[in-house]
């Protein structure tokens, strides 16, 4: 479907989504903004008949989102929250073990936890700044740890799809001698994280060929992102896009959720690495700066940084 297709058509297509099984879907970052929009669209179109797990820090937000989901008619469907600060790798290990202990199979993993800050000197105990950790390392580790459950779903002929919401199509060249991004300028750092998400998905598609891995650009979406940033500049920007007439230029999280769900369900129709745009459309290799060498170098580097075996 082309990017010009209307929202009403997208919604009508999403309304046809149905599963012959109760899907298990994890939304890391589902307590707000884009992740919330996708989780709500998923709950709406499955009529609540899904096992939905929201992961984040804000319990009150999660409880209110879950309370708004349609009540399931299936006794095996369940909607739950797992509280976790995923900027720390030890917490990611904990949350993935908790999910794997409860679920042998996972059908959808949606990753949208993120923050806005340009100060890269404040590091987590893993030695990584929180924005980099949230945009890349924690996402990589969540996928890596949960991949066996996604593979199990696929082996049983069910969907197995991963979506990372960041900025497909807007990345830049990466520096293989600075994969930790310690020397990168502000713009190189931002664009590298976007390319990291592209080649992260390429790497996973290579290692887990039965699963669909999608990196998306959601468009400019009206969310609280940046309102609590440590950076005054980011807070000012977030205030302007949320509370002035500028906000009308932005997409709502609800509409973004519909487009992204369309992209997951219909556009990424086969296993492999996908890149989708703000209307859930396939953007193919537009603005792509990866190659096999950088994919493999980043994979090896990330295995080491995340202490993955």
Ligand X SMILES: NC(=O)c1ccc[n+]([C@@H]2O[C@H](COP(=O)([O-])OP(=O)(O)OC[C@H]3O[C@@H](n4cnc5c(N)ncnc54)[C@H](OP(=O)(O)O)[C@@H]3O)[C@@H](O)[C@H]2O)c1
The yes or no reply on residue 221 touching ligand X (CB under 6 A) is: yes
Q: Considering beta carbons, is residue 72 or 114 the nearer one to ligand X?
A: 114
Task: Give the nearest distance from C-beta 90 to ligand X in angstroms.
Answer: 13
Least distance in Å: CB of 295 to ligand X? 21
Q: Which of 38, 52, 86, 128 binds ligand X (CB under 6 A)?
A: 86
Q: Considering only CA atoms, which of 306, 32, 305 is closest in space to residue 165?
A: 32
**Which residue of 23, 25, 32, 154 would you call a contact of ligand X, by CB under 6 A?**
32
What is the footprint of ligand X within residues 50-69 (CB under 6 A)? 56-58, 61
Instruction: Compute the least distance from the CB of residue 9 to ligand X, in Å.
Output: 23
Query: In angstroms, what is the minimal distance from the CB of 161 to ligand X?
Result: 18
Residue 261 in the binding site for ligand X (CB under 6 A) = no
Whichever of 153 and 251 has its CB closer to ligand X, that residue is: 251
Q: Which of 53, 166, 264, 276 binds ligand X (CB under 6 A)?
A: 166
d(CA 307, CA 309): 7
Q: Which of 21, 47, 70, 85 binds ligand X (CB under 6 A)?
A: 85
CB 17 within 8 A of CB 11: no
- How many residues of this chain bind ligand X (CB under 6 A)? 28
Q: How far is the CB of 191 from ligand X (least distance, A)?
A: 13
For ligand X, the binding residue among 35, 169, 263, 290 (CB under 6 A) is 35
Q: Which of 72, 171, 203, 218 binds ligand X (CB under 6 A)?
A: 218
Rule CB under 6 A: is residue 100 a binding residue for ligand X? no
Q: Does 39 bind ligand X (CB under 6 A)?
A: no
First and final CA of the chain: distance in angstroms? 39
Residues 120-139 that bind ligand X (CB under 6 A): 134-135
For residue 191, state whether it binds ligand X (rule: CB under 6 A).
no
Question: Among residues 215 and 295, whose Cβ is nearest to ligand X?
Answer: 215
Is position 195 an interface residue for ligand X (rule: CB under 6 A)?
A: no
126: number of Cβ within 10 Å: 19
Residues that bind ligand X (CB under 6 A): 29, 31-35, 56-58, 61, 85-87, 112-115, 134-135, 165-167, 218, 220-221, 223-225
């Amino acid at each position: 479907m082309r990017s010009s297709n209307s929202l009403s058509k997208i919604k009508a297509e999403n309304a046809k989504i149905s599963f012959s099984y109760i899907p298990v879907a994890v939304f890391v970052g589902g307590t707000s903004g884009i992740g919330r929009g996708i989780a709500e669209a998923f709950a709406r179109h499955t009529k609540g008949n899904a096992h939905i797990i929201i992961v984040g820090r804000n319990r009150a937000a999660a409880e209110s989102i879950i309370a708004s989901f349609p009540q399931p008619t299936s006794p095996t469907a369940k909607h739950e929250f797992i509280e976790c600060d995923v900027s720390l790798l030890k917490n990611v290990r904990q949350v993935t073990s908790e999910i794997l202990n409860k679920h042998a199979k996972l059908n959808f993993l949606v990753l949208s936890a993120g923050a806005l800050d340009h100060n890269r000197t404040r590091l987590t105990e893993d030695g990584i700044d929180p924005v980099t950790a949230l945009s890349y390392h924690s996402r990589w580790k969540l996928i890596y740890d949960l991949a066996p459950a996604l593979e199990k779903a696929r082996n049983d002929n069910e969907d197995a799809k991963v979506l990372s919401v960041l900025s497909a199509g807007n990345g830049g060249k990466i520096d293989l001698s600075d994969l930790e991004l310690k020397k990168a300028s502000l713009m190189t750092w931002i664009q590298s994280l976007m390319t990291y998400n592209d080649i992260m998905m390429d790497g996973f598609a290579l290692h887990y060929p039965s699963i669909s891995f999608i990196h998306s650009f959601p468009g400019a979406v009206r969310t609280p992102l940046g309102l609590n940033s440590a950076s005054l500049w980011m807070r000012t920007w977030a205030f302007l896009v949320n509370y002035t007439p500028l906000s009308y230029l932005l997409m709502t999280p609800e509409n973004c959720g519909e487009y992204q769900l369309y992209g997951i369900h219909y556009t990424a129709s086969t296993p492999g690495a996908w890149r989708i745009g703000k209307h859930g459309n396939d953007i193919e290799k537009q603005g792509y700066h990866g190659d096999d060498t950088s994919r493999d170098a980043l994979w090896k580097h990330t295995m080491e940084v995340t202490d993955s075996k």
